[in-house]
Chain A
Amino acid sequence: MMEPFTTHSGIIAALDRANVDTDQIIPKQFLKRIERTGFGQFLFCDWRFLPDGSLDPAFELNRPEAKGATILLARRNFGCGSSREHAPWALADYGFRAVIAPTFADIFFNNCFQNGMLPVRLTESEVDELFKRVAAGVAAGQGYRLHLDLREGTVHDDAGFAASFTVDPFRRRCLLEGLDDIGLSLRQTDSITAWEAAHGLPAVGG
């Protein structure tokens, strides 16, 4: 049972970059752990920290307006590269519940759903508008808050921004109900066994 996702309101951290790859989200030196937990401290490690180990104040997530952010905003092709599920694990462990971008890499996109995290695809112009609104908030010295509703497939803020998004109905249901994917599939064991019988299951190794 994973944590269900229905609605969420939170502060946006804006990462104004395209093609953010999973090597950046969680660099390989942290993939040696054998647990699912504890990866948040290493999120964006090579970008977030200076060589002396202190936080780089210039990096987007370290700015005061991004403090406590739970929604990540980025440009297109977010999560490209490796299949490492450590990427959504690190984002979730850091505190993110959703990522908004114009497009996502396929494997990362799927991995999000397995971890109670909502990837939201908006149009380039909607994403542009969100970046502008975050920047306006930054200029005013405050974080920018957004509201997500998975039941309705909508996004809105408190100042007139509204957009909608779609999610595959099955993925949506699993996320809304926090369903265990494997448990659901195991209900189809008879079909799986029948498929194996029909295909003769050739012995492995000739």
Chain B
Amino acid sequence: MPPRTLLDKIWDDHVVCTPPGELPLLYIDRHLVHEVTSPQAFEGLRLAGRRVRRPEATFATPDHNVPTTDRRLPIADPVSKQQIDTLRNNCREFGVRLYDLGDADQGIVHVIGPELGITQPGMTIVCGDSHTATHGALGALAFGIGTSEVEHVLATQTLRQGKPKSFEIRVTGRLSAGVTAKDLVLHLIGRLSTEGGTGYVLEYTGECIRSLGMSERMTVCNMSIEAGARAGMIAPDAITFDYLRGRDFAPRDFDRAVAAWEKLPSDPGATYDRVATFSAADVVPQVTWGTNPAQVVGVDARVPDPGSFSDINDKSSATRALDYMGLAGGTPIVAVSLDRVFIGSCTNSRIEDLRAAAAVVRGYRVAPTVRAMVVPGSGRVKRQAEAEGLDRVFTEAGFEWREAGCSMCLGMNPDTLAPGERCASTSNRNFEGRQGKGGRTHLVSPAMAAAAAVSGHFVDVRGWEYRGAGAP
């Protein structure tokens, strides 16, 4: 057999059949479900008299549309409540395991999947959510699907899929102090553009990627979709296995599983459809200035002038973006003041993210002009943070400390920006209106968000004066 990539191996292992004239049927090992993209799928099953083929391989949690305030209170918005009730009823009717509101392990679906050990190397994983790419950090093939496809997976445990092309993103060297995985992936998206990865699965390789911890790898894979790639993946290694060992759904015969997982990394000599190499040394803390994640510069740079773009689409996008963002070309990034700071989302709400933000905040106060919020990714992350005293670091500095959910990443729940408000956000999308109609989003790392909260404007966290424990 010729040398194969990680993608080839997982793909080959999961093709059930390719009926003549049809697309291959790909077997799906794990299906994650949330309240927003599943109601119509369950309704479709019900109308057709179909069942869920493998309820035990299907896991659900409400996250997009849940309040992050006191969970003992009823949900104020009746339409949100109906959607969450519908998920509960569907899970009960079809026998799907649900981490419901009030369950200790509820959280953002892409945070709890790895955390519970549901996500494992070599698996195919789908969810009706584009940030399913996150799970590829553990060496899985994981991607977002639409609601009709959710129904297809529920009914058949398979998906109709043409094989995507492979794209190796090799990152050499190591990230400098104060530069994080979030900065790396924003830097990569800036270079690849929002559609550079369309049609591909990105496999991140190289010394830099190997040096990242699991949480950082998840941040990188999470944002693959912002470069147009449905999936991003990283070959499993000792860091992956150590992360998974002992988790709730980890294989009981763990050593045997590891022996199989060790065969997954791309073979020497395996070829990718496309390869690009980047140097970690080129990456500085990143801040987006526009209305898509590729509109990004280093914190030490200025907002670009639309006239500086040669491509007509880029030029018109930049003009529109600056108008929406209320920014003038040439403004230094560090001169941009903020009204809000959001630390959370499936990109950056794990315990490592909260530790990094807390280290910056310790000994400081949130600027009086800023309202800042921390939303842990899951109930487990929240409890761990509280056990470490991080919640007090945040609340004593003036941050709000919330319950787990997607929250202001997409603002489906009451956590939204008001029109014109400017926010430093650790989330993944700075689209117009993403965090609230008329809201202005700048994507940054947790450390950069924390420093901006304290300073009231963007600052280069590489020069931060740490005042207590946890400094990097």
Contacts and interface: CB of A to CB of B under 8 A. Distances in A.
B145 A83 contact: yes
A205 interface: yes
A184 B22 contact: yes
Nearest to B196: A77
Given A18-B317, A182-B48, A188 B19 contact: yes
A31 interface: yes
A192 interface: yes
Contacts of B65: 31-32
B16 A81 contact: no
A103 B195 contact: yes
Chain B contact residues (Cβ within 8 angstroms of A): what range? 35 or more
A16 B248 CA distance: 50
Contact of A206 (B50, B82, B252, B316): B252
B424 interface: no
B21 A195 contact: no
B158 A32 contact: no
Contact of B39 (A28, A34, A182, A204): A34
B279 interface: no
Interface in B54-97: 56-57, 64-65, 77, 79-80, 82-83, 86
B317 to A, nearest CB: 6
Contacts of B56: 203-204
Given A19-B317, A21-B431, A28-B412, A46 B228 contact: no
Instruction: Give the residue among A31, A169, A171, A196 with the most B Cβ atoms within 10 A.
Output: A31
Interface string A64-107: 00000000000111001111110010000000000000010111
B148 A46 contact: no
B367 interface: no
Contacts of B392: none
A192 B158 contact: yes
Interface residues of A, number: 58
Contacts of B252: 206
Given A24-B432, A77-B194, A83-B144, A185 B25 contact: yes
A166 B218 CA distance: 36
Contacts, number: 185
Nearest to B253: A206
Given A81-B429, A170-B160, A106 B199 contact: yes
A62 interface: no
B158 to A, nearest CB: 6
Contacts of B19: 187-188
Interface in B1-58: 16-17, 19, 21-23, 25, 27, 36-37, 39-40, 43-44, 48, 50, 53, 56-57
B45 to A, nearest CB: 9
B155 interface: yes
A83 B16 contact: no
B50 A182 contact: yes
Given A19-B194, A105-B228, A33 B156 contact: no
Given A32-B80, A192-B157, A204 B249 contact: yes
Interface stretch (A7-15, A108-116, A138-146): A108-116
Contacts of A186: 155-156
A76 to B, nearest CB: 6
* Most chain B CB inside 10 Å of its own CB: which residue of A27, A28, A202, A205: A28
Contact of A21 (B248, B253, B292): B292
Given A185-B158, A202-B251, A206-B252, A192 B16 contact: yes
Given A83-B144, A107-B146, A46 B432 contact: yes
B250 interface: yes
A34 B250 CA distance: 34
Contacts of A151: none
Contact of A80 (B145, B148, B228, B249): B228
B17 A188 contact: yes
A191 B16 contact: yes
A122 to B, nearest CB: 15
A163 to B, nearest CB: 20
Q: Which 6 A-B pairs have the closest CB atoms?
A: A206-B252, A114-B148, A34-B39, A111-B146, A85-B146, A83-B144
Given A110-B146, A192-B25, A199-B27, 10 more contacts: A19-B195, A34-B83, A82-B129, A83-B37, A107-B130, A171-B23, A191-B25, A192-B157, A196-B27, A205-B248
